[in-house]
Amino acid sequence: MDETTNMPPDGKVQGDSPPATVCLYVIEAIRFIANNTDRELAGKIVAVVIALGYLVAIVIHEQAVTPIVPVAVVLLVPLGLIWFPEEIGGFTGYVSRGASIDNETPPILVSLMGWLLLVGLPILALCFG
C-alpha cells in the first residue's frame, strides 16, 4: 500500500480486542475493494443500493410488498440514465411530432440527470412535501 498507516505490517497490535480486530479486517476489506474497483462501476453499484434502500423503506413504511412495484418501475428511469449514459446520450434522430435530435448528449449530462432524479427528487419531496 502506498498510504501510511499506524498499523504494523502484520496487522496485529498487542492487546487487540475481538471487536477491534473485526474493525481492522473490515477496514482492510474496504481498502482492497476501493483500490480494485473502477469508479464508474462503484457509482453504478451505489445507485442500485440507493434504489434498493428506497424499496426497503417503502416496504417498512407501508408494511406491505405490493406498493414497491410501481416505485420499482419508476426507479428504472434514473437507473437507466446512470447505467447507460453513453447509449442514451448517443441517440439522435426523429423523436416525435416532427422534432429531431441533431447532436449527441454528453454522457456526463445524462448520468447527472439520472443522479438528480434518483437523489435530488426525493430530497425535494421531503423538503416540500
Count of CB atoms situated within 10 Å of the CB of 47: 21
Q: What is the pLDDT of residue 86?
A: 93
Predicted structure pTM score: 0.68
Rounded to 5 degrees, what angle do the CA atoms 37, 41, 44 make?
Answer: 140
Please, which pLDDT band fits residue 41 given cuts at 50, 70 and 90? confident
pLDDT per residue over 20-34, tens digit each? 778 788 888 878 877
**Buried b / exposed e across 67-89, counting CB within 10 Å, b at 16+?**
ebeeeeeebeebbebbbbbeebb
Domains in the chain: boundaries = 1-36, 39-128
Please, which pLDDT band fits residue 8 given cuts at 50, 70 and 90? low
Q: What is the pLDDT of residue 3?
A: 53
Q: What is the pLDDT of residue 51?
A: 95
Mean pLDDT of 35-61: 89
pLDDT per residue over 65-121, tens digit each? 888 999 999 999 999 999 999 999 998 888 888 888 889 999 999 999 999 999 998
Cα 89 to Cα 6: distance, rounded to the nearest angstrom: 46
